[in-house]
Structure 1
């Protein structure tokens, strides 16, 4: 049976990069442009304004960011909308289908962290730092635990819950978390991956149940590098 090419008004919807029916090839056509996947990463935990995206993606120009947002919107990965008054600002958010990419980004990050080229202390946005918890949790250690922690960064806040061997992350404040971690993403990595003791000058400030906080930080580790 001959399959018909998907067209719109008798013209291809987009120019294909690869003459390949594999889903991986198509995925690269959707997210393979430079910055595209990182823009999606920033939107995993909720909609963001253009200025917020640009601030969390050092090195991207406003022109390139605009182009990538337009491309991802055309592909059905994200949408844009205007918040109601009094905000009246435009935000970008992942579609339901776009959100399905979260597991892919998490697993890709875990895989790449084993590279000798991986620098765990380079720049990291707050969204990226929280996704790192999802990628680098030890499932065996987290399997029989149920802990909720709050994170407050200079311009963002999150809640992370460890249960059933995984980490669930949502953006926002929490009043019922066992402990609160405050600081920037470098301090977060020093605390969680460098295992700096609580109270160390270079780590995060921790308030609340310190025993629960220690149990939580003990769930994470950097993977061994490949030879």
Structure 2
């Protein structure tokens, strides 16, 4: 597959030469939270055919943004992971998430896929380090079949897939309810009160949870500036 280029001596254009093709940045998004098997990527990105997925991964490998690894025991299966260059795309992907939440999201459209695991990066994108100053807590989220956790340590955040080791608080709910929470249509406290979600663990940590992440307020792209 020939690689298209903007043919411009510009850092932005050169970067888009590498990651501007359809699906490429979403593959980077998936790998930012850790190595993934080919099947994991195909499952997360419905609509991306097997052939195109293989081509995109070959492109990322060829350009030094991803490489093949073997998952540790007990899996011991081949997977893909980001290189140092690929991982340094993380802040750009998080910035796009923040921009999109404010200017592009709106409500969930009919037929749109949603994976609770995508919230792993959203937690990092919306994290408020000032609100987390002096806070040390580990939160585990169990959403449908997916489990991920967030570790907050004095103004820093680390979000990852899988269960936490000795979490301070655990939140459990369904995928649909979590989608509403992610969209800002309801609060965790309201969903707990209605029985649509459960929370256990340290009450102080649970009270702080709602203050640690600041979701950008949606705005219209078509509003005329005064």
Corresponding position of 2:224: none
Cross-structure match for 1:3? none
Moved over 6 A (4+): none
How far residue 168 of structure 1 moved from its aligned partner, in angstroms, is 1.5
Matching of residue 137 in structure 1 with residue 127 in structure 2: yes
In the TM superposition, 1:195-214 aligns within 5 A as 195-197=187-189, 198-200=191-193, 203-214=196-207
Residues 115 and 145 of structure 1, relative CA distance in 2, 3 Å threshold: same
Tell me the secondary structure at the aligned position of residue 29 of structure 1.
helix
Structure 2 residue 15 is matched with structure 1 residue 27: yes
Asked if structure 2 preserves the Cα contact closer than 8 Å seen for 1:79 and 1:94, the reply is yes
Describe the superposition over 1:160-204 as per-residue Cα deviations: whole angstroms up to 9, x where unpaired: 123444421133322322101223444334346321425255744
Consecutive unaligned residues in structure 2, runs of 5 or more: 221-226
Aligned length: 214
3-state DSSP class of the match of 1:162? strand
User: Any unmatched runs of 5+ in structure 1?
Assistant: 1-13
How big is the shift at 1:115?
A: 1.2
Question: What is the CA distance between 1:85 and its match in structure 2?
Answer: 7.4
1:224 paired to 2:217: yes
Structure 1 vs Structure 2 CA RMSD = 2.6
**Of 22, 25, 34, the match for 1:46:** 34
**Counterpart residue number, 2:65:** 77
Measured in 2, the distance between the counterparts of 1:222 and 1:210 equals 23
CA distance in 1, matches of 2:150, 2:204: 16
